[in-house]
Structure 1
């Protein structure tokens, strides 16, 4: 494993390289995770592939000093720099994104489609617009309410508990949300991460058109028991691009990016 830093504008973007193979995979981790999430893959496919995993803003050891702004142009510039460094910018690449990283991969598929060989999405965010995320990040009032709530979470926690008792919120979502509002530092990071990533919002209609035009393979992997990101989102996305997009469901929850699922992940990368 190689750890390195890319200087970008005023920021220091950390990334890890796993493997030394000729084929290049760009990897994007989930919320609250880091580039290290992909380390196990290097043990299995590192002879054939070079995996470059980036610590996204406010994650891992990346020092993001551009405020709460991470634009599509920033994402593309960082990606193209690494692309040129590790394969002179000419070889087509595979995108691998897990959860929030799936949304990042979809944005790159939209922005750099002619440079993409295939896209592998593991329980990906970005295939459905969550109303609360949209309100908190895409509207002025919603973003200020979001910031206020992260500083004064009592009212929201009471509302969350009431929704859980009335069975309006399932237990998995309740536990997931409660974790992120119980700790001051965690709440602050939640606000910074969500707000910073708000410009990464792939246009699914455009992406599906590009997939058909360029015959781009897309592989979707979901956990059958995932209550955070349901496989139904992938089924809806596949409509109209079935010849290029496959969907696979395995016996797990949201944590599909684990070594015990390595065979399923590798199969999607190579199929």
Structure 2
């Protein structure tokens, strides 16, 4: 009976899961683009002209974003591996590079650990998944998650709490403005809850990721914004020192400007990575 219920649940999840991506270009080198929270694959449109000459570009929508769908439940590493393996088989991809911005950085990191022998180059732009803020730890903890859900359903209470934190100096004015902007509308608040709660299992310790990257000598680039208060460089850089193949680039931009700011840098970092 238990086996039957397990199989039924598994088949139900497969039925309700759709991982959307748009393929463009016809270059010899596949590159995966993974966007940030609240975005869709189209956020990379300004990159395509520079990339398509030498790459076949696969721009994804994360689950709960754009055209990708999934049931409301935690996403395990095994489930993500299964979905991504299906994609690689369908597109007949042997090796690829992967670029992740913000939330996409978390997916890029776990994908790299799952398929290290197939990664040509890893590029992380203001990435999530390297450090866990106190807010993330509280919101996704067993006691904190029900409160997090309640606040997402009652935005007036959440805004009041934010203002209290601001007055007490617990959080910055910039972070308050960011949270209030991102949480406008019921759909956005629902997406925040789903993203933080259901993607928690795929955030690996950076020490684990570093060991895999070093073992396979994966060339890794980290692009950070010196004006970024969402993914501040001083929180990221100390945690990445053990990655021996890492090269760090700093750009004078805020978080939401980083994709546009990186559109000429990323193609240059991808060039020259392939050897016969």
- Range with bigger deviation, 91-100 or 199-208: 199-208
- Range with bigger deviation, 93-102 or 169-178: 169-178
- Determine whether 1:122 maps to 2:125: yes
- Range with bigger deviation, 66-75 or 120-129: 66-75
Is residue 150–residue 188 contact of structure 1 (8 Å, CA) maintained in 2?
Answer: yes
Distance 1:207 1:85 in 2: 26
Distance 2:195 2:34 in 1: 14
Is residue 223–residue 255 contact of structure 1 (8 Å, CA) maintained in 2?
Answer: no
Is residue 222–residue 250 contact of structure 1 (8 Å, CA) maintained in 2?
Answer: yes
- Determine whether 1:84 maps to 2:89: yes
- Determine whether 1:177 maps to 2:185: no
Superposed, 1:166-245 pairs within 5 Å as: 166-242=168-244, 244-245=245-246
Q: Which residue of 2 aligns with 1:146?
A: 148
3-state SS of 1:77 partner: helix
Matched pairs, number = 260
Of 39, 42, 45, 2:45 maps to 39
Distance 1:134 1:269 in 2: 34
Distance 1:52 1:149 in 2: 36
Normalized per residue, which structure has more helix? Answer: 2
Distance 2:21 2:184 in 1: 30
In the alignment, structure 2 segments of 5+ residues that lack a partner are 1-12
Q: Which residue of 2 aligns with 1:105?
A: 108
**Distance change >3 Å, CA 22–CA 8, structure 1 → 2:** farther
- Range with bigger deviation, 28-37 or 198-207: 198-207
TM-score (norm 2): 0.87
Distance 2:64 2:135 in 1: 21
- Determine whether 1:162 maps to 2:164: yes
